Amino acid sequence: MQSIYKPEGLTSRPPTLGGLIMLVGFVLIGGVVSTMLLFGIMAASKGMGLSEAQTYLSGLAANPAASPNSWYELMVLQAINHIGTFFLPALAYWYFIERRTWTQFSTRPVSDVAGFSLITLIVIAFMPFDGLIIEWNRNVHLPETLAPIEQWIRNKEKGLEGLTRYLTTFKTTGQLLAAMFVIAIIPAIGEETLFRGILQRNFARWTGNAHIGIWLAAALFSAIHVQFLGFFPRMLLGALFGYLYLWSGNLWAPILAHFVNNGFTVLMVYLHQQKMTSMDIESTESVPVLGSLVSGVITLGLLYYFKKINRPTQRVETQ
């Protein structure tokens, strides 16, 4: 039975623990370099010194509403930071450490993936169920002895929610298009390349179990966002992307799923703000339990059908 993951070519190297350490190093270096680049861009555009630019950016992230004309600035900064932290380090590892090519992320071309367009429906069908998990996760409380930690987490979440709310407040169609690029396209490509294309694949190979690989990568995918009150729903979302990758054999499947999840949310937020729809997709407090459970059942049914028509194998490389 053929492996779901691409065997090494003549010049490729198998993933190793040392390679994983190198990947972590690339991510850390990418984060530092992108941050320094952000400081440099801000210093040049504002006529500031590097220390002044650092102070300005820190204040901007903490209280973006205080600078009402900084929306596009923040979007550019988000894009540079994401590309430098996720996408470029992943490619550096893939090309220089494992010595592979982009085509080796996939075992079959997109044209051979049955029901590729079905991915959009799967992701949208999953949203109500994931909304129920979001509501549950937000209401989870730590033991009394850990109350200070819980308060710190909630304060941190509140600050992040303020930044998210600011970046998803759209006044023009141009802002909507910019947000689609920065919030949907860039994270879909960058995060799926790192977490599904590299980490999931390597975890599956090392453990000999594709399911373990999927859930380990999904847990890291959720943890890296440092939003603990949304840890479980984001982990479920990561697992959904992981199974789509496993069963399709093509990295563009989870990339499309990630784009649909983020892009559909951005679009619905815009339509709600423009009073073109009464549905507030950001609200999870009114998620009907029965509707959410039906959503979960429909998602499982669609996933089963997607798996069946693609005749996947769950065997991973062990040689």
Residue 93 and residue 99: Cα distance in Å, rounded?
8
Q: Is residue 176 part of a domain?
A: yes
Percentage of the chain modeled with pLDDT above 90: 55
> Taking all residues of the chain, what is their mean pLDDT, rounded to a whole number?
86
Query: What is the extent of the structural domain holding 257?
Result: 17-310
Per-residue pLDDT band at 314 (split at 50, 70, 90): very low
Q: Is 243 left (phi over 0), alpha (psi -120 to 50) or beta?
A: alpha
Q: How many domains does the chain have?
A: 1
Indicate whether this model's pTM tops 0.85: yes
Q: Is residue 10 part of a domain?
A: no
The more confidently predicted of residues 70 and 82 is: 82
pLDDT number for residue 209: 95
Q: Is the pLDDT of residue 302 over 70?
A: yes
The closest of 261, 215, 230 to 136, measured between CA atoms, is 230
Q: Is residue 318 part of a domain?
A: no
Residue 249 and residue 41: Cα distance in Å, rounded?
39
**One-letter amino acid for residue 184 of the chain:** A
Q: Is residue 141 part of a domain?
A: yes
Q: Residue 259's CB: how many other CB atoms inside 10 A?
A: 23
Q: Is residue 315 part of a domain?
A: no
Q: How would DSSP label each residue in 211-263?
A: HHHHHHHHHHHHHTTT-GGGHHHHHHHHHHHHHHHHHH--THHHHHHHHHHHH
Q: Is residue 92 part of a domain?
A: yes
Q: Give the pLDDT confidence of 149-177 residue by residue, as tens digits.
A: 767 677 777 767 777 888 888 889 999 99
Q: Is residue 6 part of a domain?
A: no
Q: Is residue 89 part of a domain?
A: yes
Residue 306 and residue 285: Cα distance in Å, rounded?
31
Extract the tokens encoding 197. Answer: 């294309």
Q: Give the pLDDT confidence of 174-207 residue by residue, as tens digits.
A: 999 999 999 999 999 999 999 999 999 999 999 9
Q: Give the pLDDT confidence of 3-38 residue by residue, as tens digits.
A: 455 545 546 778 888 888 999 999 999 999 998 888
The closest of 86, 64, 35 to 161, measured between CA atoms, is 64
pLDDT number for residue 315: 40
